[in-house]
Structure 1
Amino acid sequence: MKAFLPIGLLVGCMMFAQAKSLKPNNLYAQLCEVNPEWRKNRPLAQQLGLLQAPTIYANQDLLAFHVQTLQKIFAKRATPHLSPTQKRNRQQHLAILEEYWQLRNCPRNYYLPYRNPVFIDHEGRYCAVGYLMLKSGKKEFCEAVQRNNNFIKIRQIQSQEFDQWQHQSGLSLDELAWIQPYYIPQTRYEEVTTLGARRTPRFLDSLQTLKLNRPSDDYLYGHEFSKMFMGNELIDVQGTLKKLRYWGKPDWKALERQKMELVNLTQYGTHLYVIANNRNAGGFGKAQFAIFKWTKQKKWERFNVQFPVYAFFTYKGKLYAGGGYETYTKAIEDGRSVDKPQYTHSYLLRLDGKNWTKINQEYGGIVFGIYKKGNKSYLATVINTSLGSKRAPILSKANR
Structure 2
Amino acid sequence: MKVLTMLGFMVMAAFLGITLASTQQQLQPINTVLGDESFIATYGRKPDLRTPQSLRIETHLAYVEDKLRQSSVTHLPAHLQQKRQRLLDLLQQYREAGNFPQSEPNVSQYKPCFMDKNGTICAVGYLIEQTEGRAIAERINARHPYDYIQDMNMPEVQEWIESSGLTEEEYEMIQTSH
**Structure with the larger helix share:** 2
Give, as a single letter, the amino acid of the residue that structure 1 aligns with 2:152.
I
Q: 1:87 to 1:37 in 2, by over 3 A?
A: same
Query: Is the partner of 2:33 in helix, strand or coil?
Result: helix
Partner of 1:136: 131
Q: Distance in 2 between matches of 1:49 and 1:103?
A: 22
User: Is residue 157 of structure 2 the alignment partner of residue 162 of structure 1?
Assistant: yes
User: Is residue 45 of structure 2 the alignment partner of residue 53 of structure 1?
Assistant: yes
Partner of 1:106: 100
Partner of 1:62: 56
Give, as a single letter, the amino acid of the residue that structure 2 aligns with 1:168.
S
Partner of 1:97: 91
Q: Using structure 2 for the length normalisation, give the TM-score.
A: 0.76
Q: How does 1:247-326 map to 2 (within 5 A)?
A: none
* Offset of residue 54 of structure 1: 5.5
Query: In terms of Rg, which structure is larger?
Result: 1
Q: Distance in 2 between matches of 1:106 and 1:160?
A: 26
Give, as a single letter, the amino acid of the residue that structure 2 aligns with 1:36.
T
Query: Is the partner of 2:153 in helix, strand or coil?
Result: coil
Q: How does 1:219-230 map to 2 (within 5 A)?
A: none
Q: 1:178 to 1:53 in 2, by over 3 A?
A: same
* Offset of residue 114 of structure 1: 2.2
Q: 70, 87, 100: which one pairs with 1:76?
A: 70
Structure 2's unaligned 5+ residue stretches are 1-21
Whether the 8 Å contact between 1:61 and 1:104 is mirrored in structure 2 is: no
* Offset of residue 80 of structure 1: 1.6
Q: Deviations over 1:213-240 (max 9, x none)?
A: xxxxxxxxxxxxxxxxxxxxxxxxxxxx
* Offset of residue 51 of structure 1: 8.3
Q: Distance in 1 between matches of 2:159 and 2:132?
A: 13
Which of the pair has the greater relative contact order for Cα pairs under 8 Å at 6+ separation?
A: 2
* Offset of residue 141 of structure 1: 1.7
Partner of 1:368: none
Q: Distance in 2 between matches of 1:163 and 1:81?
A: 20
Structure 1's unaligned 5+ residue stretches are 1-18, 24-29, 184-400
Whether the 8 Å contact between 1:79 and 1:87 is mirrored in structure 2 is: yes
User: Is residue 163 of structure 2 the alignment partner of residue 171 of structure 1?
Assistant: no
Alignment size in residue pairs: 154
* Offset of residue 138 of structure 1: 3.2
Query: Is the partner of 1:182 in helix, strand or coil?
Result: coil
Q: 32, 35, 47: which one pairs with 1:36?
A: 32
**Structure with the larger strand share:** 1
* Offset of residue 154 of structure 1: 0.3
Q: 122, 137, 159: which one pairs with 1:127?
A: 122
User: Is residue 142 of structure 2 the alignment partner of residue 147 of structure 1?
Assistant: yes
* Offset of residue 169 of structure 1: 1.0
Give, as a single letter, the amino acid of the residue that structure 2 aligns with 1:75.
R
